[in-house]
Every structure is written in C-alpha cells, then in structure tokens.
Chains A and B, each alone.
Chain A
Amino acid sequence: MRQILIQDIITAVKNLCIDANYHLGEDIKIALREAQEKEESPLGKTILRQIIDNFQIAQKGEFPICQDTGFAVFFVDLGDQVCIKDGNLFDAINEGTRQGYEEGYLRKSVLDDPVRRKNTGDNTPAVIHLNVVKGDKLKIIIAPKGGGSENMSGLKMLKPADGVEGLKQYVLEVVKKAGSNPCPPIVVGVGIGGTFEKCAEMAKRALLRTIGSNHPNPFYAQLESELLEEINKLGIGPQGLGGTQTALAVHIETYPCHIAGFPVAVNINCHAARHKEVVL
C-alpha cells in the first residue's frame, strides 16, 4: 500500500480551489475566442469580448473570474492501493476547501440548511463524489459550481418509447427554458441512463470533459454535435440577448439502464466552466 499524508491532500485541495477560480482552463478559453469570432450578433461579440477580457484580468491572481466562486464540487478517484495516513479523506477535502476559500479571497456561498439558510462562513461542506479505482494514486478534480447555471438544470424520467427524439427534445427544452439565466454561452452536460441519482451525477461529470474533444463512441459523438447545432439555432446567444453562440459544447455520459427506464439529466454550466485536477 502506498501512503498519502493528510496534509498533502489538504494543501493540494487548497491550491485547487484557488487555481480553479482564477485561471480558466485553456480549452474553454479557446472555445470562447472561437465563439467571439463566429458570433453573428454585434452585441453578442461585444459581450464575448468582455468575457475574454475578464478571464485575462482574473488570471493575474487578484480578482476571481466570477464573484460566484461556487459550491466546491469534487470528483475523487481513490486508488485501491492507497492508504490515507493521519486522517480522513473527506475531512481533508473540507479543510482544504476552507483554507482555499479563505486564503484565495473567494466568496463563501454555502448555507448550513436549505430551508433555514444560514451561511456556514467557510464554503464547506464540499460535495464529494468518490470513486474507487485500481492503482496507487489519488486523483482529485474540483469543479466549483455557480448557483445561476445550477438552478437552470433539469432531470426527467423519460419513457423508453420517447426514443432519441424525445431525448433531444428534452435537452432543447431545458436549454430554451434556461434562456438568459445560466450566463450563456453555456456548456451542456447530459447524463443518459442509470438510475435517477446516477443520471444526475453523470450530467455533472460530463462537464469535466475537455471542450473540443469528441465522445469516444461515434453514435454519441454524432448526437452531441447534432444537439450543439440545434441548441445554437435557438437564437439565445451570449447572455440571452440574441445570437448564434448559445452553447460552446454538449457532452454526454451514459450508463446502462433498467428495461423500464430512460432517465435524462441536463446540467448546465455557465461560460466560466471551471475545473482543475491534481494527481497525488
């Protein structure tokens, strides 16, 4: 068994929180620049120019990309040959989040209770999705998630008879209904199959894929490009003020499903599609 010290996890998570909120990934930067070129609406072009200028200011490290520095969502792949020494993995991730949001001057947006609504003051607890994999490494991905785009996401238990057309219709319906709210141009994560909760998690995980990459399965690669094309015909455009660049990418994740089921989840990300990873 390979040992990983708890302190190393805390430090890595702290750095991830800060890095993700100040430095947008290269893939999304390229996508935003391409969108700025392609956008047909003059106002849409101006908006995209501001978005590009914004991430350039943010990367100097003094002002986060967005004031909504998000709920800290983690996807963790824990190798089965790893032994965490001197503490608990989840405690370490929460401590790293606490330190990262404090030291990085990031906004604390997490409430202790959804109904009674008191801020916890340190942006914890994080949301942690843990997966056990083969090997002796620990991979931690952070995807800080803003409230505006999360609010516009949706899940529907389609019927098998709805077929691929029903699926496409639902994805378009969610994006159309979201309209101007999730800060378009957006990235659309689609989970198909599994159970109710599995489907939602896949939709979020789909947002992590590199923008511009193709789905490994040609059927789903084709479906992604068809959905992207149709979404961009909706006319929503940058900030919902009209234009041709509504979505930068559609990413699909699938899982086997029940004979009676056909769940579809759509998780929407704003243009500040932030995620960073580290392997210990």
Chain B
Amino acid sequence: MAKITITTPLTDEVVMSLKAGDEVLISGAIYTARDAAHRRMTEILDRGEKLPFDIKGQLIYYAGPTPTRPGKVIGSIGPTSSVRMNPYAPRLLQAGSKGMIGKGEMNADVQMALQKYTAVYLAAVGGAAALIAQTVVKNEPVAWEELGTEAIRKLTVKDFPAIVVQDCHGGNLFLEGVKKYAKI
C-alpha cells in the first residue's frame, strides 16, 4: 500500500484525511514523553501554567531512548506501551496536541477524545527501535533532563514509519484487524 507522508505540526485537515489502516511516514518535530513527563505535564495544566513547549498541532511520542553513543544522533528509540498514558492523553489533546505515537490499543476515553479534538493515534512497530533511530535527524532536550530517558525531547524525524491505528472518525484498527483474522 502507498504510504502517506505527513509533516508536523498537523492541521485538522490532515488529521481528518487519515483513516485507521493507513501507513504513514512522519517528518518534522515530534516530542517524547512517557509516564513521568505526562504526570508533570498534567500537573502544570491543572495549575493553569504553560507547558515547556508549544503543544499546538504536535505529536507526542511515547518513548524513552537508550543512551546516545558518541557521534550518533540518538540511541535506539521504539515506542512504549500507550495503555499507561490512557489517563493523560485526553488532557494533552484538549491542550492542543494533534495526537500521539505509541504501541498497543488505547481505551475508549482516548478514542472519544480523538473524535472530540480531531486528533490521531499512530502506532510505530514496538521493538523496531534500532530501525526507528535511523529516522531521527536531530535530538534536542526540552525539559526535565533529570528524568533521564523519561525527559521530554524534541526529535526531528524524516520518514518515521507509523500506522494510523485509531482515527478521529472512530476507526480502530486493533478491533477491525483482529476481527478480520480471528478464527475462534
């Protein structure tokens, strides 16, 4: 299937054009955040303060890399399980993020938030960390370096491979795909 190239920040128009099952190549900036950074970001939003980066139109990548070798841009960096970010994702979408990249299905609250805020959930291949690292052209710290691998980083990526898995129209490839191949 032909791959669709998308560039961040994403517009509503681009998000609406994406359907569960589409294969995409992402270029532009994406921001890493895992459990610890999400807890901090939601606390900041609860206090009515500003996030450490402009989240408008941006994609959050659920990932924590291995240490960077000298001369390399980054270490291995595949997606972590998105299920742990279920409690936080709707809040960040409300704040203006246009979606996230992770692995594994996200829950009904997130699916509803994707529809409400016109956002998209993309899956990268879990465990394809060395391959994904090859698509990262720039790696800049953004906030909370004391969190180590869990810090927020701005990654500039070129042709980062991902799959649209939960879209803003209610499409869910986890449900549709498994149903198609289930024999019991």
B66 touching A67, Cβ below 8 Å: yes
B184 touching A230, Cβ below 8 Å: yes
Interface hit among B9-17, B43-51, B93-101, B124-132: B124-132
A128 interface residue per 8 A CB criterion: no
- Cβ contacts under 8 Å, B176 to chain A: 242
Q: Which residue of A lies closest to B176 (CB)?
A: A242
Q: Mark B133-171, 1 if CB is under 8 A from A, else 0.
A: 110000000000000110000000000010101000000
A46 touching B66, Cβ below 8 Å: no
A46 touching B148, Cβ below 8 Å: no
| CA gap between A243 and B183 in the complex, in Å | 10
A148 touching B75, Cβ below 8 Å: no
A51 touching B75, Cβ below 8 Å: no
Q: Which residue of B lies closest to A53 (CB)?
A: B131
- Cβ contacts under 8 Å, A131 to chain B: none
B131 touching A181, Cβ below 8 Å: no
- Cβ contacts under 8 Å, B69 to chain A: 62, 105
The smallest C-beta distance from A53 to any residue of chain B, in angstroms, reads 5
B181 touching A65, Cβ below 8 Å: no
B76 touching A67, Cβ below 8 Å: yes
Q: Mark B19-61, 1 if CB is under 8 A from A, else 0.
A: 0010100000000000000000000000000000000000000
- Cβ contacts under 8 Å, B131 to chain A: 50, 53-54, 57
Residue in A105, A106, A183 whose beta carbon sits within 8 Å of that of B127 in the complex: A183
B105 touching A180, Cβ below 8 Å: yes
Residue in B68, B163, B181 whose beta carbon sits within 8 Å of that of A244 in the complex: B181
A64 interface residue per 8 A CB criterion: yes
| CA gap between A198 and B161 in the complex, in Å | 42
Residue in B68, B181, B184 whose beta carbon sits within 8 Å of that of A242 in the complex: B181
Residue in A105, A147, A235 whose beta carbon sits within 8 Å of that of B182 in the complex: A235
Using A50-B161, A64-B66, A234-B182 as known contacts, say yes or no to A41 and B177 having CB atoms under 8 A apart: yes
| CA gap between A69 and B165 in the complex, in Å | 26
Using A235-B178, A239-B125 as known contacts, say yes or no to A64 and B104 having CB atoms under 8 A apart: no
| CA gap between A233 and B177 in the complex, in Å | 13
The smallest C-beta distance from A178 to any residue of chain B, in angstroms, reads 9
A174 interface residue per 8 A CB criterion: no
- Cβ contacts under 8 Å, A119 to chain B: 148
B173 interface residue per 8 A CB criterion: yes
B177 touching A63, Cβ below 8 Å: no
Max chain B C-beta neighbours (<10 A), residue from A55, A242, A272 = A242
B2 interface residue per 8 A CB criterion: no
Q: Which residue of B lies closest to A107 (CB)?
A: B66
A240 interface residue per 8 A CB criterion: yes
18 chain-A/chain-B pairs, Cβ below 8 angstroms: A41-B181, A50-B125, A58-B130, A67-B63, A67-B64, A67-B65, A68-B78, A68-B129, A105-B69, A105-B75, A107-B66, A107-B75, A179-B105, A179-B174, A180-B103, A237-B177, A239-B126, A242-B179
19 new A-B contacts at CB < 8 Å, known A179-B105, A235-B183: A53-B131, A54-B125, A63-B133, A66-B127, A67-B76, A67-B80, A105-B66, A105-B68, A121-B148, A179-B104, A181-B104, A235-B178, A235-B181, A237-B178, A240-B178, A241-B165, A241-B173, A241-B174, A242-B181
Chain B residues proximal to chain A, CB less than 8 Å = 1, 21, 23, 63-69, 72, 75-78, 80-81, 83, 103-105, 123, 125-131, 133-134, 148-149, 161, 163, 165, 173-174, 176-184
**8 A-B pairs with the lowest CB-CB distances in the bound complex, closest first:** A242-B177, A235-B182, A63-B130, A235-B181, A183-B126, A233-B183, A181-B104, A57-B130
